[in-house]
Amino acid sequence: MIQLIRGFKDILPGEVELWQEVEKTARSLFEDFGFREVRLPIMERTALFTRSIGENTDIVEKEMYTFPDRKGEMITLRPEATASVVRSYIQHKLYAVDPVQKSYTIGPMFRRERPQKGRYRQFYQINAEVFGIESPLIDAQIIFMLVTLFTRLSVTGLTANINSLGCPKCRPAYKEKLIEFLDGLSESLCSACNKRSSKNPLRVLDCKVPTCAESVKDAPSILDYLCPDCKDHFETVQDLLNKMGVEYIINKRLVRGLDYYTRTSFEIQTTALGAQNAVAGGGRYDGLINILGGPEIPGIGFAIGFDRLIDILSQNMEPRIRQPEVFIAALGDDCQKVAFEWTNALCAEGIKTEMDFSGKSLKALMKRANRLGARHVLIFGESEMKEGVAALRNMATKKQILVSLNDIVRNIIKNII
């Protein structure tokens, strides 16, 4: 038997209802905040990701599914959505109509990481991006929107971590200081961090290897190196969050795994998933639109790890599965043919209706109706056909009434609502 690819998974009925519910809640909330959906391709030219996420990141160095297409052009299954949202904004010159764009997108991403709990090679993100607003008000608003979504979904035990990563004016001086600090630590850093410490030193700060975490405890903090503009911006974000009642901690070691970030960055963390503690991550990326060939327009956004959110939710939430309103227990060929028409008519009226096509006994049909959780069963056999009535049974109260076969669809609807 051909099995699915490692790190990929099927989302089956029983679980999919939870996904649908989360998606519905997210869409409705985001739209209330003025976001509109964009649907973008899952493959892009490789250069889009190398240029935006950064050559020296784990994602670009070792996690992308990249291959030549039949004409030799390098293409990549998207490891994240932000780069594509930016590309489409530039490509369709959306900024010319209105530089402010708020969009969201939901879909699969691909990273060839080592699969483990909460980490998949195909995973889903719920992504929101805002272009064209420099004010810290929007930073606070999207964090508020994100936290509100978790509240609506009754997810608890989450901590919002925030940090500022500065800007091209202030970050280089910090980077230099950090490299200097890491220089003396090569003995105690893991081999990956030894490589990172000159090329991408900020990443060393959030290495999960215990000796690395211990070694960087006293590393210089970016927050001490922010230029006055970045400092102001970050302080305003904090003030606004305080006013909005959003709880957060300042995590000066929060650096994120993609190179495009500037200023505010944030992660919503959980302890419910072991090593994979980030349920959502995001931040500002004021230079990215320009780096990808567009005008100097700022951006900010986040992505929720949909799979991780579902992993947490399913620990204490049963998906709501819509039960059939009516199950038609039709006995015998002739009755089945007639009942088949009623079934379709009821479904078309928006009444979830099931019937059994196998011609089983009444006892077997009642068993099936019970298993499906049907609220009503319509019993329809030859004698009912002769008498011109069928028995409609309420499965909760066990009360049974007779409904006329004349205009039966209306009669059923009248009696079940």
**CB contact at 8 A, 53 and 80:** yes
**CB contact at 8 A, 362 and 412:** no
Q: How far apart (Å, rounded) are the C-alpha atoms in residues 84 and 103? A: 12
| Cα angle: 409, vertex 410, 413; to 5 degrees | 90
CB of 377 to ligand HAM, least distance (A): 43
Q: Which is nearer to ligand HAM, 309 or 403 (CB)?
A: 309
Segment contacting ligand HAM (CB under 6 A): 125-133, 190-198, 204-212, 223-231? Answer: 125-133
Q: Which is nearer to ligand HAM, 7 or 220 (CB)?
A: 7
Q: Which is nearer to ligand HAM, 294 or 305 (CB)?
A: 305
Q: How far apart (Å, rounded) are the C-alpha atoms in residues 66 and 338? A: 55
Segment contacting ligand HAM (CB under 6 A): 19-27, 97-105, 273-281, 290-298? Answer: 273-281
Q: Which is nearer to ligand HAM, 119 or 263 (CB)?
A: 119
Q: Using CB positions, name the residue nearest to ligand HAM.
A: 305
Reading across the β-sheet that carries 122-131, which strands appear in turn? Answer: 36-37, 101-110, 122-131, 299-305, 278-284, 262-270, 158-164, 249-250
308 binds ligand HAM (CB under 6 A): yes
Which contacts of 136-140 are long-range, i.e. CB under 8 A and separated by 24 or more positions? 136/233, 136/234, 136/236, 136/237, 136/240, 136/264, 137/236, 137/240, 138/300, 139/233, 139/237, 139/240, 139/263, 139/264, 139/284, 139/300, 140/236, 140/237, 140/240, 140/241, 140/244, 140/246
- By the 10 Å C-beta count (0-12 exposed, 13-18 middle, 19+ buried), 226 is classed as buried
Q: How far apart (Å, rounded) are the C-alpha atoms in residues 36 and 24? A: 14
Q: How far apart (Å, rounded) are the C-alpha atoms in residues 120 and 5? A: 11
Q: Which is nearer to ligand HAM, 111 or 171 (CB)?
A: 111
Q: Which is nearer to ligand HAM, 52 or 343 (CB)?
A: 52
Residue of 84, 103, 125, 141 interacting with ligand HAM (CB under 6 A): 125
Give the footprint of ligand HAM on residues 100-119 (CB under 6 A): 111, 113, 119
Other Cβ atoms within 10 Å of 298 Cβ, number: 21
Residue of 54, 136, 201, 257 interacting with ligand HAM (CB under 6 A): 257
Residue of 153, 303, 377, 412 interacting with ligand HAM (CB under 6 A): 303
Q: How far apart (Å, rounded) are the C-alpha atoms in residues 132 and 134? A: 7
Give the footprint of ligand HAM on residues 64-83 (CB under 6 A): 80-82
Segment contacting ligand HAM (CB under 6 A): 13-21, 66-74, 167-175, 275-283? Answer: 275-283
Here the tokens at position 286 are 């004021």
Q: How far apart (Å, rounded) are the C-alpha atoms in residues 195 and 200? A: 8
Q: Which is nearer to ligand HAM, 166 or 257 (CB)?
A: 257
123 binds ligand HAM (CB under 6 A): yes
Residue of 30, 89, 174, 302 interacting with ligand HAM (CB under 6 A): 302
Type and span of the H or E element at 291:
helix 288-291
End-to-end Cα spacing for the chain: 47
CA 38 to chain centre: 14
Segment contacting ligand HAM (CB under 6 A): 37-45, 95-103, 299-307, 361-369? Answer: 299-307
CB of 7 to ligand HAM, least distance (A): 8
129 binds ligand HAM (CB under 6 A): yes
CB of 16 to ligand HAM, least distance (A): 17
278 binds ligand HAM (CB under 6 A): yes
CB of 223 to ligand HAM, least distance (A): 20
Instruction: Name residue 131's beta-bridge partners.
Output: 101, 299
Residue of 307, 325, 356, 384 interacting with ligand HAM (CB under 6 A): 307
301 binds ligand HAM (CB under 6 A): yes
Q: Which is nearer to ligand HAM, 6 or 410 (CB)?
A: 6
Residue of 136, 201, 282, 298 interacting with ligand HAM (CB under 6 A): 282
- State which amino acid sits at residue 413: I
Binding site for ligand HAM (CB under 6 A): 80-82, 111, 113, 119-120, 123, 125, 127, 129, 257-258, 278-283, 301-303, 305, 307-308
